[in-house]
Chain A
């Protein structure tokens, strides 16, 4: 069974940093591109970042470019999101999501982890 479990969320002050993790199981992690998608409270979905299976291709939304860094460790079946210079508008539930084998759709999602940026 495919499972994605996020962790690392919490309360952080504006300007602070946080590192999110996503532990994957039930599939060959190293064969799939992975993504972070966020959802502000009561709002819609916003794509944040994508990383290819071997980390050769990395993409960011303009809203986080230069502040967030996506990475992965295929030996540990883990995806990460390093978030720096956090702003109030970064407050959201952050989901990790698997790309369905290169077909550019998200077939499995984690349950999400809440990041709150507030003083």
Chain B
């Protein structure tokens, strides 16, 4: 079973700053199946990044993903007020079929 561990649990930053969120897998995974979602309070998750580094439709280029093997990163280059949310990484594998990290809450400092 692949376990995804996200860090930090909470990240406190100010608008305009750069955010770096980490997702570490318990064993090497295919970057093709590494995905990032954003979830705001009271809303459903929103697809941000797929294939570790490809932006989903309509996602601004302030959001970027990188990584391979066991270490993946979501970077938000210049934080805007609407970016403060919880971010989840996800992997498609075998057992379980899909696994999520526990989330990183990005909060306004």
Interface residues of A (CB under 8 A from B): 35, 37, 44-47, 50, 59, 61-62, 95, 100, 103-107, 109-112
9-residue interface stretch from B11-19, B20-28, B62-70, B94-102: B94-102
Q: Please, which residues of chain B bring their CB within 8 A of the CB of A59?
A: 97
Q: Please, which residues of chain B bring their CB within 8 A of the CB of A100?
A: 47, 50
A50 and B50 contact, CB distance less than 8 A: no
| Chain B at the A interface: SS class | strand
Q: Please, which residues of chain B bring their CB within 8 A of the CB of A50?
A: 97-98
Q: Please, which residues of chain A bring their CB within 8 A of the CB of B44?
A: 95, 109-112
CA distance in complex: A105, B98 (Å): 9
CA distance in complex: A95, B47 (Å): 14
Q: Please, which residues of chain B bring their CB within 8 A of the CB of A112?
A: 44
B90 and A105 contact, CB distance less than 8 A: yes
Q: Please, which residues of chain B bring their CB within 8 A of the CB of A35?
A: 98
CA distance in complex: A44, B39 (Å): 10
**B8 within 8 Å of A by Cβ?**
no
Q: A104-B33, A105-B92, A107-B56 are in contact. Are A47 and B47 (CB under 8 A)?
A: no
Taking the closest CB of chain B, its distance from the CB of A35, in whole angstroms, is 7
Q: Please, which residues of chain B bring their CB within 8 A of the CB of A61?
A: 96-97
What would be 19 A-B contacts, judged by CB atoms less than 8 Å apart?
A37-B98, A44-B100, A45-B37, A45-B103, A47-B97, A62-B96, A95-B45, A100-B50, A104-B33, A104-B98, A105-B33, A105-B35, A106-B45, A106-B47, A106-B90, A107-B56, A109-B44, A109-B45, A112-B44
CA distance in complex: A112, B40 (Å): 13
